[in-house]
Structure 1
Amino acid sequence: MIRQGIKADSKEAAILLYETLEGIAVKLTGGTTDEEVLATLEDFFQQEVNRLNYTNAFVKVIDNKLAGIMIAYHGKDAEAIDAPIIEHLRTLKNDATITIDKEAEEDAYYIDTLSVNAEFRGQGIGTDLMKAAEDYAKEQGYDKISLNVEYDNERAHNLYTKVGFKEEKTITIIGKKFYYMVKELA
């Protein structure tokens, strides 16, 4: 069963998010050690408003373990939900000029992160989470869904292409090139 995230998922969620986000997680948290990054991701997940919080999470639980997680939100909300993260970084670094890279466009429901626990890979969990996001987007009346995939992640690019995503443009996140891919929802 796929459900919305809850605050109690924060420890496992942080680990899965860090595994997938890697350098982006470091940038968003301002952490300099794995422990700092994980602690901040846990904190972000428990907060009420930011892109990585539990209310933006779809999770699949198997045998009381977080088997997979997806963070998704509408691009029109990105500026508002990035504001707490930017404020955290500005305070942490004592630098009022800090910004973060724009990932989502304002006209699509955006899949920010998709991560499957290594113990459960190859069981269709990622596909199930993607379908849950698409179903949710349709229920909300959204007509397209988007995501970013790193240039050198050919496996993910092929998967997303196979399920109907098309490259729309190239964007840069933390100095790396990503395909911004979009799927029209019927």
Structure 2
Amino acid sequence: MNIRKATVEDAEKAAILIRLAIKEIAEALTGETEEERILAVLGDLFRSSGNRMSFENTMVCDHDGQMAGLIIAYHGKDAAALDEPIAERLRRKMKDESIKIDKEAEIEDFYLDTICVDSKFRGKGIGTSLIHHVEELALGRGYHRISLIVEDVNPDAGRLYVRLGYKKTKMITVSGGEFAYMVKEMKKTPV
């Protein structure tokens, strides 16, 4: 198992994993309903700089020579700026200047936006390893509060996050769905 920074070459597989993780949110963020178009737009976003779905914000886990999982993460203070290119694309596509992206991350949090492990690789600790890796990156950058959201319809993920120390602090609505906002307070590591 190897965790590394994503590259633009990871886009095709990354788009599939992102789609699996965010389900209907992918339709809201792409403005598409046809699966092929959703994946194409997610791939384009992944290859592009300066948006939340970019390779720049992504770590991937390779296992047995294949991309087994990914995690997209960034600081909440950057969320609005990272959402703006996506919102602008939607405004042009829908010809509606009022379109905005639902706020997910709190401004003080380092936010785990998308976490997905390919079904062929589940149960091998890859999701846990990805989360721990990004938590360490966040701590190294001086961020001590990590957050994520999870749907009630995903109890396995919810149990994993609780086991890793995340606590539900509130419920939020994203793209019409209800999500638990979960936070983990990280302690400063001694020097």
Report the counterpart of residue 99 of structure 2 in structure 1: 98
TM-score (norm 2): 0.95
> Match for residue 44 of structure 1?
45
CA–CA separation in structure 2 for the residues paired with 1:64 and 1:40:
26
Note the alpha carbon deviations across 1:1-58, whole angstroms, 9 max, x for none: 1011100000000001001111001110111200100000000000011000001001
Q: How far did residue 77 of structure 1 move?
A: 0.2
1:88 equivalent to 2:89? Answer: yes
Asked whether 1:171 is paired with 2:172, we answer: yes
> Runs of 5+ in structure 1 lacking a partner?
none
Count of aligned pairs: 186
Task: Provide the residue aligned with 2:78 in structure 1.
Answer: 77
1:176 counterpart letter in structure 2: G
Letter in structure 2 aligned against 1:140: R
Aligned residue type for 2:148:
L
Counterpart residue number, 2:143: 142
How many Å apart are 1:119 and its aligned residue? Answer: 1.1
Task: Write the distance in 2 (CA, Å) between the matches of 1:160 and 1:114.
Answer: 11
TM-score normalised per structure 1: 0.98
CA distance in 1, matches of 2:107, 2:148: 12
What is the CA distance between 1:92 and its match in structure 2? 0.7
Taking only the aligned residue pairs, the percentage that are identical comes to 46
Aligned residue for 2:89, secondary structure, equals helix
Q: Give, in whole Å, the separation in 1 of the partners of 2:150 and 2:27.
A: 18
Q: Which runs of 4+ in 1 moved over 3 A?
A: none
Q: CA deviation at 1:72?
A: 0.5
In the alignment, residue 33 of structure 1 is paired with which amino acid? E
- Aligned pairs for 1:5-44 (under 5 A) are 5-44=6-45
Alignment RMSD: 0.8
CA distance in structure 1 between the aligned counterparts of 2:88 and 2:106, rounded to whole angstroms: 21
- Give the Cα–Cα distance (whole angstroms) in 1 for the partners of residues 64 and 133 of structure 2: 20
Q: Report the Cα distance in structure 2 between the residues aligned to 1:60 and 1:158, rounded to whole angstroms.
A: 21
Instruction: Find the counterpart in structure 1 of residue 62 from structure 2.
Output: 61
